[in-house]
Amino acid sequence: MYRLTVFLLVFFTVSGVFADAKIGINGAVEWDTMRIKAVISLDLASAGIKIPSGRIQGESLLLSNYLSLILPSILELQVDSSSTISDLINRGEFNLSEVEAIALKAQSIPPALSPELKNMSVSYNMNISGISSAFIRHRRPSPIMRTLNPVSAARYTGIVIIASDELPIHGMKSKAMPVPCLFPKIWDSEMNLIYERNMLEAESASMVSYAPLNSIFQKNPSGLSAELIAAVGERPLRIFANGVFGSTPTDLVIDRNDAMLIISSEENRRLLTEGRVVILLNDSVLRSEFSGE
């Protein structure tokens, strides 16, 4: 891994000398892989840098602009139905320095030159699950709802919720396409809260995973993709969401009968605390591109 601290000692020098340098970022938030991928590029001519003598200066300049370019994409991440990371910082519920610390843990590839030697670029790859863990502050998970009248339920290896189409918005006469976030809530059709972030074990990497619909239509005995099997096993409970809820349509509503299959046994409730939940969403919302200068 290319270490981000290699050129920090020259930050103030390069930021002043190369003030007119053209540096930009292009990337995407990929919810199905739970990664943020980005490429930061420098126009060498705009910085007055000539190769090979100016290679060190170019690399330093790329590094010194990393945080200012990558932070906007992180701050815009939807935490839950009502807040982005930026919203939490503005309310004093999270600290910008914590976001910067997360950004500095990104994996990177050493800067490379374009074939015509006009640009220098560096690629970054950040785990969204690592961002999620920064918001888990509890030590013990909250208890999951139980029922006095449990139903007979098989022992499942995970939970797959299909929510790839527009769904009715609870309490309204309109529909919306469900979108991903770090901590979606799951409600039953009687609006009992079935799953939320405090029910997750503190050591779990993420509350849910996301995948495209075709993940359950693979040509193998289980019909599941390898990624889905890794997340929920080969015998997951498969259910359809029948509604969305929240200011942003991140929270799902499932039928009460399906919820009963989850909460009726200790084994199935444990699937929630372990985060063995995958939500299948429309391809159009699983990837969000960004760019900037």
pTM of the model: 0.89
Q: Is the pLDDT of residue 3 over 70?
A: no
Distance of CA 112 to the CA centre of its chain: 27
pLDDT in tens, 257-273: 999 999 999 999 999 99
Which residues are 119's β-sheet partners?
A: 43
Structure tokens at 4: 């981000």
What integer pLDDT is reported at residue 149 of this predicted model?
85
Structure tokens at 187: 């409600």
Mean pLDDT of 77-89: 96
- C-alpha–C-alpha distance, residues 245 and 260, integer Å: 20
What integer pLDDT is reported at residue 18 of this predicted model?
52
